[in-house]
Amino acid sequence: MDRREFLKQVALWSAGPILSPPVFDLLSPAGAAEIHMPEILTIKGTDLPAMVRSMTAALGGMEAFVKTGDKVVIKPNIGWDRTIEQAANTHPLIVSELVRLCLDAGVSRVLVFDRTCNEERRCYQNSGMAPALEKIKDKRFRLEYADDRHFVPVTLKNGRVLKEWSFHRDALEADCYINVPKAKHHGLTGLSLGLKNIMGAVGGWRGRLHYDLGPKLADLNTVIRPRLTLIDASRVIVKNGPQGGDPEDVKVLDTLVASRDTVAADAYATTLFGRLPNEIEATLEAHQRGLGQMDLDQCRIRRLDA
């Protein structure tokens, strides 16, 4: 390497720290979801892929959510180094079925990721997510780790407590964002559901979100608005959440809940734990801000047959 080449290299390498990342300035209209009488679907059974198909079919098919050429992000909970039996993560069969449905609908890209709490490779592997999704051989589909570099700063125009936070770039840019949370116990928030699942799509030091978490979750949910929220309540953690670990912590409910309205889906799923929607601070806060409907009397609840 001669001197000129060396200088060129130095200039190239030092470009990184000098340039700053792009700033997204999204203005998501709060309360854009259909607040008036949102529809909630629920289904009981053990054949998860079939249940996912019935649900989407009942909502008008995947074509009702995506069009040909869309970029889709599917965001499950893969947060913990726990097995399927331990029920801390979204069941991989639900996610793989959603991916297939999107691909069949002719989308141009499907991305699945979560920003994990435990080490990401262990989480993806031991949750069963990576083994299940590796079976999908389609170039349009990717299961990715959420590296730091994916997160870009966003100004929260509608934030009450949070004014700025970083979000996953692909989640912001997606034509369709599908939220696939796990329903489970959580020490601080009571339950972890659809609104809480956004924690895996944001960057930064997430521990710092934990005080005043309810209002902050509502803030974060003003930026990313899922087209569909499908809550996995097939096996749920009823204590020692959000990671559980012991078989005694797990209850089998064999239930899935879906809605276009995350707040409504959360509200219904809360009742599966014998609790009331307004006991969950994030649900209450999001409802009050007009992000969705938590009053189940104001929802159309359809129970599908498995």
Site for another protein in 8-67 (CB under 8 A): 12-13, 15-17, 19, 21-22
- Whichever of 76 and 242 has its CB closer to another protein, that residue is 242
Strand 250-259 to 228-237 pairing? antiparallel
85, 188, 279, 300: residue in contact with another protein (rule CB under 8 A): 188
Q: Which stretch binds another protein (CB under 8 A): 56-64, 65-73, 121-129, 270-278?
A: 121-129
Interaction of residue 153 with another protein, rule CB under 8 A = no
Of 48 and 284, the one with the shorter C-beta distance to another protein is 284
Using rule CB under 8 A, residue 121 touches another protein = yes
Q: Which of 208, 271, 275, 279 binds another protein (CB under 8 A)?
A: 208
- Residue 306 CB, shortest distance to another protein, in Å, is 31
- Residue 55 Cβ vs another protein, minimum distance, rounded to whole Å: 30
Our finding on whether 81 is near another protein (CB under 8 A) is yes
The number of residues that bind another protein (CB under 8 A) is: 34
Q: Is 69 in the site for another protein (CB under 8 A)?
A: no
For another protein, give the closer residue by CB, 22 or 60.
22
In the complex with another protein, the residue whose CB is nearer, 54 or 86, is 86
The least CB distance from residue 208 to another protein, in Å, is 4
CA-wise closest residue to 48 among 230, 248, 303: 230
CB 192 within 8 A of CB 186: yes
Kindly state the smallest distance separating residue 105's Cβ from another protein, in Å.
23
Q: Per CB under 8 A, does 211 bind another protein?
A: yes
- State the nearest-atom distance from the C-beta of 143 to another protein, in Å: 13
- CA gap 3, 17 in Å, rounded: 22
- Looking at residues 237 to 266 of the shown chain, list those that interact with another protein (rule: CB under 8 A): 240, 242-246, 249
- Residues in the site for another protein, rule: CB under 8 A? 12-13, 15-17, 19, 21-22, 81, 117-119, 121-122, 125-126, 130, 149, 186-188, 205, 207-208, 210-212, 240, 242-246, 249
